[in-house]
Amino acid sequence: MTETGENRAGGGPWWWSRPRSAVLDVVLAAISAAECALQGVGFARQAGIPPLIAIVLGVVAGSMLVLRRRWPIAVVLVSVAVSPAEMGITLGVVGLYTLAATEVPRRITALLAGMSAMGMMVITTIRLQQDIGQDPDFNPSSWFVPLVAFLMSLGMTAPPVLLGLYIGARRRLVESLTERADGLERELSLLADRAEERAEWARNEERTRIAREMHDVVAHRVSLMVVHAAALQAVALKDPEKASRNAALVGDMGRQALNELRTMLGVLRSGEGGEPEKKKQQVGAETEEGPSRLAEFAVAAAASASSAPAASDGPGAEAAPESASGSASGSGAGREGSAPGGGRVSLVREARKARQAREESAPTLAELDALVGQSRAAGMAVELNVEGEPGEECPPPVEQTAYRVVQEALTNVHKHAAGARTRVRVAHREAEVALQVENEAAPVDGAADAGLPSGGNGLVGMRERVAALGGGFVSGPTDAGGFRVSAIIPYVRP
């Protein structure tokens, strides 16, 4: 071991990582020094040297234990060196244990343990032979001395080495597990951060979908209301009968738009109208279910738009309902795992009912005639050309998206080219639907501009819907001064 800033920062002096480790080593060194000093007195008598020298030698040798964590090899070598003087039992045992528990290579540990065992065996053999020679009544067999010496050396070296190996392996295992736990904690922290990012992304996606649904559900009908109001203003004095019809249309469309808005707001408040107990059960879940509520809002918006009469179907709200339904079902599943008891079941059931209602009442390409009829009633010259019929393999999301694209394109004609002739072409091909909405330039003496605002979301929403199904979308002005919207939607996403 070496002294590091980390160890010093841990509170221990010099090479100790903790103060109690330093205290333990000092206590062991004091015990070993006292033991070696006492054993040195007996060695001094036998060797005929001054006792003071033997005591100083024993104290210095025993005090080497204070260095056992930093230089374990030196401590074992000192214990082997003083073994002929029959001193340093504590020094040898603790030194071997420390050597085996540290990161010293195993071959060095085995070599030093073997040296210590051989020294102990030799010293024990010599001492037994001397003791046997001094007692004439004790005459053991020839194998007695080697066996006792072997057992003594084995008992003094094997237990500390094995215990040290076990403690070292256990320490390394704990460090490895701690390191792995720290790594897992860091990974979990990263996953939590990524989950928060994904949740934020999901919230933004749901907000975008809701904006798209609101635009598709309300914009077309409100646009027609404004167009009819402008026509009403133009013919109020010239043709009172026509003005009356336009006023009736404006009133009907206004009532339908209000009903749709009321339905959408009802979705947002649907969690508040239940029984008190259910509301209490759903409080914890609703606080963390923004994306789920947003998805249900989008689903119900699309369902309310498509459930209105054919004369009031709004533009461009079908591709997103399909994607919103997937989001609602996914968020409903997540809610099922978080909402408590019967509350979460009822929430999931409500989401499924909303999705089922949307699928049953969603508009299809068969309703294009009614959609075109609305624009014709508003004074637009629209030509509809449909080639082929949608096959059984045509999935509902494809028809819904195609319907919404045509719807939004007609709304844009009302906004930007009132009175322009418009052609709608739909072709059912093998495994795909192709459609095109093209209008001519607005006539100079045509219908007056209704002054409809444009937020720039119509084309973006159409492109997002078509792209969500793996199709292609192109829009732009024509050479004749008009505008063209084209889309190809495959039955199966590539």
Give the integer Cα–Cα distance in Å for 419 and 185.
Answer: 65
pTM: 0.47
Does the pLDDT at position 295 exceed 70? no
**Would you say residue 240 has pLDDT above 60?**
yes
pLDDT tens profile 312-365: 343 333 333 343 344 334 444 444 444 444 455 555 566 566 556 555 556 788
Tokens of residue 433, six digits = 């639907």
* Tens digit of each residue's pLDDT (9 = 90 or more) over 31-90: 988 888 888 888 888 777 888 888 888 888 888 888 888 888 988 898 888 888 878 888
- Helices (H), strands (E): how many in the chain? 15, 5
The structure tokens listed for 227 are 């167009």
Query: What are the angstrom distances between the C-alpha of 73 and each of 80, 92, 122?
Result: 11, 11, 21
Mean pLDDT of the chain: 75
201-206 long-range contacts, CB within 8 A, separation 24+: 202/291, 202/327, 203/290, 203/291, 203/294, 205/327, 206/290, 206/291, 206/294, 206/295, 206/298, 206/327
- Bridge partners (DSSP) listed for residue 76: none
Let me know: does 37 contact 12? Beta carbons within 8 Å: no
Strands in 198-328 per DSSP E: none
Structure tokens at 396: 């509902």
Which residue has better confidence, 122 or 260? 122
CA-angle at 402, arms to 212 and 370, nearest 5°: 95
The SS3 call for residue 65 is helix
Instruction: State the sign of the Cα–Cα–Cα–Cα dihedral 371, 374, 376, 381.
Output: negative
Inter-axis angle of helices 89-101 and 106-134, to 10 degrees?
160
Closest CA to 323 of 467, 166, 160: 467
Pick from 214, 320, 309: nearest CA to 261: 214
334-340: long-range pairs with CB below 8 Å, 24+: 334/289, 334/292, 335/285, 335/289, 335/292, 338/284, 338/285, 338/288, 338/289, 339/281, 339/282, 339/284, 339/285, 339/289, 340/281, 340/284, 340/285
Lowest mean pLDDT among 155-169, 245-259, 469-483: 245-259
Q: Which residues in 354-431 belong to E strands, given as ranges?
A: 382-387, 422-429
> Is the per-residue pLDDT at 284 higher than 60?
no
Which residue would you say has higher pLDDT here, 429 or 130? 429
Eight-state DSSP code of residue 312: G
Residue 291 pLDDT > 70 = no
Q: Report the sign of the C-alpha dihedral through residues 33, 34, 39, 45, in that order.
A: positive
**In the predicted model, is pLDDT for residue 489 greater than 90?**
yes
Mean pLDDT, to the nearest integer, of 301-319?
Answer: 40
